[in-house]
Amino acid sequence: MTARFRPAEAVQSLEVDADVLLYRPDEIHRLTGSGVAIWRLLDRAPTREELVRALTEQHPDTASDALATEVHAFLDDLVGRELVATGPDEPPAARVSVPDHVAWTAPDGATVVVADLRTGERRSLSPTASSVWLAVVTGEPMDRVVARMREDYTDLPEDVEAQVGSLVAHLLDEGLLA
């Protein structure tokens, strides 16, 4: 299984002008230049290969081998400092986003209303689907989405992970998520 990289949970980060500051008790770190670009990409929980590919696209004039070496060393350093955590590969549904042609709102903070701007169709999601929507669109990993749902709902079926996966797949098929 391919490892994915994401900011460690205990780390706070803040962009200050062109730099990124990282804080974990009781240390402070500063990222500059390509370190900032790599840190931003970690929001997507990429693999090493995805990270190198994304950076290669950003810096087409840089030799990919050199870039890969730099990325690997940088990632290893961040992991060694416990600023970045690694985890197993996750299904794509954990990293979905809302496409430009979709608008959504949660007027009461719980029930999500989604509108497809291509067709004008609006629909209200069920409470469970709304929970899934609110979680996945903020980039929350699938395991945490499920864990949160288990906290919120006491009568969830055993195969809730599969059902969440099916729901997200359905939303992806309909073009409401991408």
Partner 1 sequence: MSATPARFDALGFRFELRRDEPALADEAERLLAGLLVPDGSGEPDEPGDRAAEGRQLTLTADPPERHDAALAALVGTINMAAIAAAAGRLLLHAGAVADSRGRAALLCGPSGSGKSTLTTLLTRRGLSYLTDETVCLDPGSLRLTPYRKPLSIKAGSAAVLPELTPADDLLHAGDFGEMWLVPAPALSAPEPPAVVFPDLVVFPTYAAGAGLTEEDLSAGEAAYLLGTNASHLGAVSGGPLPALARLARRARCVRLRFDDGPRAAARVAAMLESAA
**Binding residues for partner 1, per CB under 8 A?**
12-14, 16-21, 23, 25-26, 28-30, 32
Secondary structure element (H or E) that encloses residue 15, with its range? strand 12-16
What is residue 30's three-state secondary structure?
A: strand
Min. distance of Cβ 113 from partner 1 in angstroms? 33
Min. distance of Cβ 36 from partner 1 in angstroms? 9
Specify the DSSP class assigned to residue 119.
T
Three-state SS annotation for 38-54: HHHHHHHCCCHHHHHHH
Residue closer to partner 1 by CB (options 13, 64) is 13
Residue closer to partner 1 by CB (options 36, 68) is 36
In sequence order, which residues have a C-beta less than 8 Å from that of residue 148 and are 6 or more positions away?
131, 135, 140
In sequence order, which residues have a C-beta less than 8 Å from that of residue 138 and are 6 or more positions away?
none
Residue closer to partner 1 by CB (options 26, 173) is 26
Min. distance of Cβ 51 from partner 1 in angstroms? 22
Residue closer to partner 1 by CB (options 31, 146) is 31
Secondary structure element (H or E) that encloses residue 164, with its range? helix 160-173
Min. distance of Cβ 96 from partner 1 in angstroms? 28
Min. distance of Cβ 11 from partner 1 in angstroms? 10
Please state the φ and ψ torsions of residue 116, each to the nearest 5 degrees.
Answer: -90, 110
Residue closer to partner 1 by CB (options 20, 145) is 20
